[in-house]
């Protein structure tokens, strides 16, 4: 690329070869770091519906599983809405509190001793929804 805009030009990125040839280091690769020994793992429970009112989130089975330190929902954390940077009038909690707006929206956080325990405990969290019509086109 010769000066000016990147639009319409090939952009060579310096970091690509490292990540394409297994040379990159990711957070999951840091398990042997001394500073991270004993660190806990967080697994998010995500909405299975595109749009709906949250009727209940039952975390009791997950809380009693081996290795589970805590299970949090928006209600248990008493989360306050955080305004969106692009539009301060749009505010959402970090975990869905009353309504889910897309498949995969986080509804609970499971804190465990190992990643595997987190995956198992997340599957034990039961959410009940009043499914609403999803808007998929404008």
Q: Which tens digit of pLDDT belongs to each residue from 12-60?
A: 888 888 888 888 878 777 777 888 888 999 999 999 999 999 999 999 9
Q: What is the mean pLDDT of the chain?
A: 90
CATH classification of the domain holding 110: 3.90.1170.50
User: Distance between CA 114 and CA 40 in Å, rounded?
Assistant: 7
Count structural domains, the chain: 1
17 found inside a domain:
no
Domain membership flag for residue 105: yes
**What whole-number distance in Å separates Cα of residue 35 and Cα of residue 68?**
21
CA distance 68 to 92: 27
State the average pLDDT over residues 69-86: 89
Q: What's the start-to-end Cα distance of the chain, in Å?
A: 38
81: in domain: yes
- pTM for the model: 0.76
Residue 27 lies in a domain: no
In a domain, 76, yes or no: yes
CA dihedral 119, 124, 128, 132 (to 10 degrees): 20
Domain enclosing residue 79, as ranges = 39-131
Q: Is residue 71 part of a domain?
A: yes
């Amino acid at each position: 690329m010769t000066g000016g805009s990147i639009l319409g030009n090939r952009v060579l990125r310096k970091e690509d070869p490292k990540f394409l040839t297994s040379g990159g280091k990711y957070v999951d690769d840091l398990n042997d770091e001394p500073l991270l020994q004993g660190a806990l793992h967080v697994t998010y429970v995500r909405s299975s519906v595109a749009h709906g009112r949250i009727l209940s989130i039952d975390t009791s089975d997950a809380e009693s599983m081996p290795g589970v330190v805590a299970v949090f929902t928006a209600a248990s954390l008493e989360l306050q809405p955080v305004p969106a940077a692009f539009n301060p009038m749009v505010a959402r909690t970090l975990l869905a509190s009353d309504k889910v707006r897309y498949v995969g929206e986080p509804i609970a956080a499971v804190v465990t001793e190992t990643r595997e325990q987190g995956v198992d405990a997340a599957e034990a969290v039961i959410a009940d929804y009043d499914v609403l019509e999803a808007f998929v086109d404008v």
